[in-house]
Structure 1
Protein backbone atom coordinates (compact mmCIF):
# COMPACT_ATOMS: atom_id res chain seq x y z
CA UNK A 1 0.00 0.00 0.00
CA UNK A 2 3.04 2.26 0.24
CA UNK A 3 2.72 3.16 -3.44
CA UNK A 4 -0.75 4.59 -2.89
CA UNK A 5 -0.35 6.07 0.59
CA UNK A 6 -0.02 9.71 -0.51
CA UNK A 7 -2.91 9.41 -2.97
CA UNK A 8 -5.23 7.89 -0.37
CA UNK A 9 -4.28 10.50 2.26
CA UNK A 10 -5.48 13.26 -0.07
CA UNK A 11 -9.06 11.95 -0.16
CA UNK A 12 -10.99 14.30 2.13
CA UNK A 13 -14.06 12.19 2.80
CA UNK A 14 -13.10 9.47 5.33
CA UNK A 15 -15.64 6.98 3.94
CA UNK A 16 -14.35 7.47 0.40
CA UNK A 17 -10.77 7.20 1.63
CA UNK A 18 -11.58 3.93 3.42
CA UNK A 19 -13.34 2.49 0.36
CA UNK A 20 -10.48 3.42 -1.97
CA UNK A 21 -7.94 1.87 0.38
CA UNK A 22 -10.07 -1.27 0.70
CA UNK A 23 -10.28 -1.66 -3.09
CA UNK A 24 -6.58 -1.01 -3.70
CA UNK A 25 -5.54 -3.48 -0.98
CA UNK A 26 -7.98 -6.05 -2.36
CA UNK A 27 -6.47 -5.74 -5.85
CA UNK A 28 -2.95 -6.12 -4.47
CA UNK A 29 -3.90 -9.19 -2.44
CA UNK A 30 -6.03 -10.80 -5.17
CA UNK A 31 -3.56 -10.13 -8.00
CA UNK A 32 -0.12 -10.01 -6.32
CA UNK A 33 1.72 -10.28 -9.65
CA UNK A 34 0.42 -6.84 -10.73
CA UNK A 35 2.62 -3.80 -10.23
CA UNK A 36 1.02 -0.90 -8.34
CA UNK A 37 1.89 2.59 -9.55
CA UNK A 38 0.72 6.18 -9.63
CA UNK A 39 0.50 7.75 -13.09
CA UNK A 40 -1.44 10.82 -14.16
CA UNK A 41 -2.11 11.33 -10.41
CA UNK A 42 -4.17 8.14 -10.28
CA UNK A 43 -3.57 4.71 -8.77
CA UNK A 44 -3.28 1.91 -11.29
CA UNK A 45 -1.93 -1.57 -11.75
CA UNK A 46 0.21 -2.83 -14.60
CA UNK A 47 1.47 -6.20 -15.78
CA UNK A 48 4.76 -6.51 -17.68
CA UNK A 49 4.61 -2.77 -18.37
CA UNK A 50 1.08 -2.75 -19.78
CA UNK A 51 -1.92 -1.07 -18.19
CA UNK A 52 -4.44 -3.37 -16.52
CA UNK A 53 -6.75 -1.23 -14.36
CA UNK A 54 -6.88 2.30 -12.98
CA UNK A 55 -8.93 4.21 -10.44
CA UNK A 56 -9.98 7.79 -9.83
CA UNK A 57 -12.35 9.56 -7.51
CA UNK A 58 -15.26 11.92 -7.97
CA UNK A 59 -17.81 13.37 -5.62
CA UNK A 60 -20.37 10.59 -6.07
CA UNK A 61 -18.32 7.65 -7.29
CA UNK A 62 -15.04 5.84 -7.72
CA UNK A 63 -14.23 5.47 -11.39
CA UNK A 64 -12.72 2.15 -12.46
CA UNK A 65 -11.06 2.17 -15.86
CA UNK A 66 -10.39 -1.18 -17.55
CA UNK A 67 -9.88 0.40 -21.01
CA UNK A 68 -12.57 0.26 -23.67
CA UNK A 69 -12.07 -3.46 -24.33
CA UNK A 70 -12.87 -4.23 -20.70
CA UNK A 71 -16.01 -2.11 -20.85
CA UNK A 72 -17.17 -3.81 -24.05
CA UNK A 73 -16.45 -7.27 -22.65
CA UNK A 74 -18.54 -6.67 -19.52
CA UNK A 75 -21.11 -4.07 -20.60
CA UNK A 76 -24.01 -6.46 -19.92
CA UNK A 77 -22.69 -7.31 -16.44
CA UNK A 78 -22.09 -3.62 -15.72
CA UNK A 79 -25.61 -2.70 -16.78
CA UNK A 80 -27.18 -5.60 -14.84
CA UNK A 81 -25.29 -4.47 -11.73
CA UNK A 82 -26.85 -1.03 -12.19
CA UNK A 83 -23.64 0.91 -12.74
CA UNK A 84 -23.26 3.94 -14.96
CA UNK A 85 -20.46 3.62 -17.48
CA UNK A 86 -18.81 5.29 -20.44
CA UNK A 87 -16.65 3.75 -23.15
CA UNK A 88 -13.61 4.02 -20.82
CA UNK A 89 -14.80 3.73 -17.20
CA UNK A 90 -17.37 2.36 -14.77
CA UNK A 91 -18.78 4.53 -11.99
CA UNK A 92 -18.95 2.62 -8.70
CA UNK A 93 -21.08 4.85 -6.48
CA UNK A 94 -19.82 5.54 -2.98
CA UNK A 95 -23.28 4.96 -1.49
CA UNK A 96 -23.56 1.37 -2.78
CA UNK A 97 -21.66 -1.80 -1.87
CA UNK A 98 -18.63 -2.34 -4.07
CA UNK A 99 -18.92 -5.21 -6.58
CA UNK A 100 -15.58 -6.98 -6.15
CA UNK A 101 -16.64 -9.88 -8.37
CA UNK A 102 -17.15 -7.54 -11.32
CA UNK A 103 -13.79 -5.89 -10.67
CA UNK A 104 -12.14 -9.31 -10.48
CA UNK A 105 -13.60 -10.30 -13.87
CA UNK A 106 -12.39 -7.06 -15.50
CA UNK A 107 -8.88 -7.43 -14.12
CA UNK A 108 -8.61 -11.13 -15.01
CA UNK A 109 -9.83 -10.38 -18.54
CA UNK A 110 -7.26 -7.62 -19.03
CA UNK A 111 -4.42 -9.75 -17.71
CA UNK A 112 -5.29 -12.54 -20.14
CA UNK A 113 -6.21 -10.31 -23.07
CA UNK A 114 -3.05 -8.24 -22.75
CA UNK A 115 -0.66 -11.13 -22.04
CA UNK A 116 1.15 -10.54 -25.34
CA UNK A 117 0.70 -6.76 -25.38
CA UNK A 118 3.97 -4.85 -25.56
CA UNK A 119 2.52 -1.35 -25.22
CA UNK A 120 1.07 0.45 -22.21
CA UNK A 121 -2.35 0.98 -23.83
CA UNK A 122 -4.08 -1.28 -26.32
CA UNK A 123 -3.65 -0.16 -29.92
Structure 2
Protein backbone atom coordinates (compact mmCIF):
# COMPACT_ATOMS: atom_id res chain seq x y z
CA UNK A 1 0.00 0.00 0.00
CA UNK A 2 2.83 2.34 -0.77
CA UNK A 3 0.38 4.49 -2.74
CA UNK A 4 -0.90 5.87 0.60
CA UNK A 5 2.49 6.36 2.29
CA UNK A 6 2.99 10.00 1.34
CA UNK A 7 -0.51 10.82 2.62
CA UNK A 8 0.18 8.99 5.89
CA UNK A 9 3.56 10.65 6.34
CA UNK A 10 1.87 14.06 6.44
CA UNK A 11 -0.18 13.15 9.53
CA UNK A 12 1.75 14.52 12.49
CA UNK A 13 -0.10 12.71 15.28
CA UNK A 14 1.35 9.20 15.47
CA UNK A 15 -1.86 7.69 16.91
CA UNK A 16 -4.03 9.27 14.22
CA UNK A 17 -1.62 8.11 11.53
CA UNK A 18 -1.71 4.58 12.92
CA UNK A 19 -5.50 4.50 13.10
CA UNK A 20 -6.11 5.67 9.54
CA UNK A 21 -3.33 3.36 8.30
CA UNK A 22 -5.14 0.47 10.00
CA UNK A 23 -8.42 1.42 8.31
CA UNK A 24 -6.78 1.70 4.88
CA UNK A 25 -5.04 -1.64 5.37
CA UNK A 26 -8.30 -3.27 6.46
CA UNK A 27 -10.07 -2.07 3.29
CA UNK A 28 -7.15 -3.22 1.15
CA UNK A 29 -7.07 -6.68 2.77
CA UNK A 30 -10.87 -7.13 2.69
CA UNK A 31 -11.23 -5.85 -0.89
CA UNK A 32 -7.95 -6.57 -2.71
CA UNK A 33 -9.73 -6.21 -6.05
CA UNK A 34 -10.29 -2.49 -5.48
CA UNK A 35 -7.91 0.02 -7.00
CA UNK A 36 -6.09 2.50 -4.80
CA UNK A 37 -5.29 6.15 -5.42
CA UNK A 38 -4.75 9.45 -3.69
CA UNK A 39 -6.71 12.27 -5.32
CA UNK A 40 -7.43 15.68 -3.84
CA UNK A 41 -5.15 14.63 -0.95
CA UNK A 42 -7.57 11.84 -0.04
CA UNK A 43 -6.81 8.12 -0.12
CA UNK A 44 -9.54 6.31 -2.00
CA UNK A 45 -10.57 2.99 -3.39
CA UNK A 46 -12.06 2.46 -6.84
CA UNK A 47 -13.69 -0.33 -8.82
CA UNK A 48 -13.52 -0.46 -12.64
CA UNK A 49 -12.60 3.24 -12.67
CA UNK A 50 -15.46 4.37 -10.45
CA UNK A 51 -15.16 5.81 -6.96
CA UNK A 52 -16.15 3.48 -4.12
CA UNK A 53 -14.96 5.14 -0.89
CA UNK A 54 -12.48 7.76 0.27
CA UNK A 55 -11.06 9.08 3.51
CA UNK A 56 -9.74 12.35 4.89
CA UNK A 57 -8.33 13.50 8.21
CA UNK A 58 -8.80 16.52 10.44
CA UNK A 59 -7.77 17.47 13.93
CA UNK A 60 -10.80 15.93 15.71
CA UNK A 61 -11.79 13.07 13.41
CA UNK A 62 -11.22 11.21 10.21
CA UNK A 63 -13.93 11.21 7.59
CA UNK A 64 -15.37 8.42 5.49
CA UNK A 65 -16.79 9.58 2.17
CA UNK A 66 -19.02 7.02 0.43
CA UNK A 67 -20.89 9.60 -1.70
CA UNK A 68 -24.33 10.88 -0.71
CA UNK A 69 -26.14 7.73 -1.83
CA UNK A 70 -24.00 5.56 0.45
CA UNK A 71 -24.79 7.78 3.41
CA UNK A 72 -28.51 7.93 2.63
CA UNK A 73 -28.72 4.16 2.20
CA UNK A 74 -26.92 3.48 5.50
CA UNK A 75 -28.15 6.45 7.54
CA UNK A 76 -29.69 4.33 10.31
CA UNK A 77 -26.51 2.28 10.74
CA UNK A 78 -24.37 5.42 10.75
CA UNK A 79 -26.48 6.99 13.48
CA UNK A 80 -26.63 3.70 15.44
CA UNK A 81 -22.80 3.65 15.38
CA UNK A 82 -22.85 7.07 17.03
CA UNK A 83 -21.16 8.86 14.16
CA UNK A 84 -22.04 12.38 13.05
CA UNK A 85 -22.50 12.89 9.32
CA UNK A 86 -23.30 15.41 6.63
CA UNK A 87 -24.73 14.49 3.26
CA UNK A 88 -21.18 13.85 2.00
CA UNK A 89 -19.07 12.54 4.89
CA UNK A 90 -19.22 10.47 8.05
CA UNK A 91 -17.09 11.79 10.93
CA UNK A 92 -15.33 9.21 13.08
CA UNK A 93 -13.83 10.87 16.18
CA UNK A 94 -10.27 9.74 16.78
CA UNK A 95 -11.15 8.48 20.25
CA UNK A 96 -14.04 6.27 19.04
CA UNK A 97 -13.56 2.73 17.76
CA UNK A 98 -13.95 2.11 14.05
CA UNK A 99 -17.15 0.27 13.19
CA UNK A 100 -15.80 -2.10 10.54
CA UNK A 101 -19.23 -3.66 10.03
CA UNK A 102 -20.55 -0.27 8.96
CA UNK A 103 -17.52 0.32 6.75
CA UNK A 104 -18.17 -3.03 5.07
CA UNK A 105 -21.83 -2.10 4.46
CA UNK A 106 -20.80 1.22 2.89
CA UNK A 107 -18.29 -0.43 0.58
CA UNK A 108 -20.54 -3.36 -0.36
CA UNK A 109 -23.40 -0.98 -1.18
CA UNK A 110 -21.22 1.13 -3.47
CA UNK A 111 -19.67 -1.87 -5.22
CA UNK A 112 -23.12 -3.29 -5.96
CA UNK A 113 -24.85 0.01 -6.68
CA UNK A 114 -22.11 1.21 -9.01
CA UNK A 115 -21.52 -2.10 -10.81
CA UNK A 116 -22.70 -0.62 -14.10
CA UNK A 117 -21.44 2.91 -13.48
CA UNK A 118 -19.19 4.21 -16.25
CA UNK A 119 -18.16 7.47 -14.56
CA UNK A 120 -15.95 8.20 -11.58
CA UNK A 121 -18.75 9.88 -9.59
CA UNK A 122 -22.44 9.04 -9.73
CA UNK A 123 -24.41 11.30 -12.04
TM-score range relative to shorter protein: over 0.9
Specify the SS of the correspondent of 2:70: helix
2:53 and 2:68 mapped to 1: Cα distance?
11
Structure 1 residue 84 corresponds to structure 2 residue 87: no
Question: Structure 1 stretches (4+) deviating beyond 4 angstroms?
Answer: none
Shift of 1:107: 0.3
Residue aligning to 1:27: 27
Residue aligning to 1:2: 2
Superposition pairs of residues 31-50 of structure 1, within 5 angstroms: 31-50=31-50
The number of aligned residues is 123
TM-score with structure 2 setting the length: 0.99
Shift of 1:81: 1.0
RMSD of the alignment, in Å?
0.5
Superposition pairs of residues 56-95 of structure 1, within 5 angstroms: 56-95=56-95
Which sections of structure 1, spanning at least 5 residues, go unmatched?
none
Shift of 1:80: 1.0
Which sections of structure 2, spanning at least 5 residues, go unmatched?
none
1:27 and 1:7 mapped to 2: Cα distance?
16
1:48-94: per-residue Cα shift (whole Å, max 9, x none)?
00000000001111100000000000001111111000001100110
